[in-house]
């Protein structure tokens, strides 16, 4: 089965059914996504960032007031504006393709044709089902086909896709596909090791659970290459 198809359907009472036929209650706390693309409307960018912030500010004020909070309080009165700015300019800024990192490719002058691993990239994202944080580490690898990118770009690609409402499976696939696109190779691997606050701070309140997702493309589908990558990820660094 192709990786993509795993995300499109879900097993409910042993029967595989399309997500589109499921109600929100049936989906419940199952963190399943509908496709590798973040679901966006066609009119997503008709409003400017400033217009979005004005709207979100007023809606968030309404949420707080509905909860019974007194927004005349000095500590609370700036919160709707702060949340609106944080949503648009920071934690959901990766929804806007204009914020996608520009990646320059360099010639691989050293003829380095082995695996390059960038591990322990810290990221902060948010679960699209509960809008609470998902955070953890990303470990990436690729084998150059003649081109290389700056190491900081690997980090920036992770941060860009993290700054969206996410599900971890999609996050993993979006990073992998972007790496394959920019590096012009199938030979990429991605592991995401994350903690979901919707699991630890609410719901089942499991404080120890970690969620691991992975993607292996091209040569990483071979056992020996995959094992080499995993050894580097597990390697303890001494600095």
Name the residues annotated as catalytic: 127-130, 168, 196, 198
Binding to Zn ion (CB under 5 A): which residues in 142-161?
none
CA distance 30 to 127: 11
Closer residue to Zn ion (CB): 138 or 198: 198
To Zn ion, the closest distance from the beta carbon of 201 in angstroms equals 10
Closer residue to Zn ion (CB): 6 or 204: 204
Angle at 187 between CA 166 and CA 145, to 5 degrees: 130
User: What percentage of the chain's residues is helix, strand, coil (to nearest 5)?
Assistant: 40, 25, 35
Rg (CA), the chain: 20
| Segment interacting with Zn ion (CB under 5 A) among 44-52, 159-167, 174-182, 197-205 | 197-205
To Zn ion, the closest distance from the beta carbon of 131 in angstroms equals 8
Other C-beta atoms closer than 10 Å to the C-beta of 166 total: 25
Residue 164 within binding range of Zn ion, rule CB under 5 A = no
Closer residue to Zn ion (CB): 209 or 221: 209
Residue among 198, 215, 217, 219 that touches Zn ion (CB under 5 A): 198
Residue among 52, 129, 163, 164 that touches Zn ion (CB under 5 A): 129
Within 8 A by CB and 6+ apart from 121, the residues are 137, 138, 139, 140, 154, 155, 158
Residue among 83, 127, 138, 192 that touches Zn ion (CB under 5 A): 127
Other C-beta atoms closer than 10 Å to the C-beta of 10 total: 18
CA distance 150 to 142: 13
Residue 130 within binding range of Zn ion, rule CB under 5 A = yes
Residue 134 within binding range of Zn ion, rule CB under 5 A = no
Angle between helices 168-183 and 151-162 (to 10 degrees): 140
Closer residue to Zn ion (CB): 143 or 173: 173
| Segment interacting with Zn ion (CB under 5 A) among 16-24, 127-135, 164-172, 214-222 | 127-135
Residue owning tokens 């973040």: 38
> Which residues contribute to the site for Zn ion (CB under 5 A)?
127, 129-130, 198
């Amino acid at each position: 089965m192709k990786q993509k198809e795993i995300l499109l359907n879900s097993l409910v009472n042993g029967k595989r059914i399309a997500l589109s036929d499921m109600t929100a209650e049936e989906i419940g706390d199952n963190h399943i996504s509908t496709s590798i693309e973040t679901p966006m409307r066609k009119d997503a960018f008709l409003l400017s960032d400033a217009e979005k912030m004005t709207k979100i500010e007023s809606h968030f004020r309404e949420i707080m007031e509905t909860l019974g909070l007194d927004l005349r309080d000095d500590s609370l009165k700036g919160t709707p504006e702060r949340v609106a700015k944080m949503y648009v300019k920071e934690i959901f800024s990766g929804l806007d393709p204009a914020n996608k990192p520009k990646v320059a490719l360099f010639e691989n002058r050293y003829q380095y044709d082995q695996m390059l691993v960038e591990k322990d990239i810290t990221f902060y994202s948010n679960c699209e089902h509960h809008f609470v944080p998902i955070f953890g580490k990303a470990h990436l690898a690729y084998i150059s086909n003649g081109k290389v990118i700056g190491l900081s770009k690997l980090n920036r690609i992770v941060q860009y896709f993290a700054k969206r409402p996410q599900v971890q499976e999609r996050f993993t696939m979006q990073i992998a596909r972007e790496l394959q696109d920019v590096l012009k190779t199938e030979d990429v691997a991605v592991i995401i090791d994350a903690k979901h606050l919707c699991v630890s701070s609410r719901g089942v309140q499991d404080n120890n659970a970690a969620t691991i997702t992975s993607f292996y493309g091209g040569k990483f589908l071979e056992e020996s290459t995959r094992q080499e990558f995993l050894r580097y990820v597990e390697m303890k660094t001494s600095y």
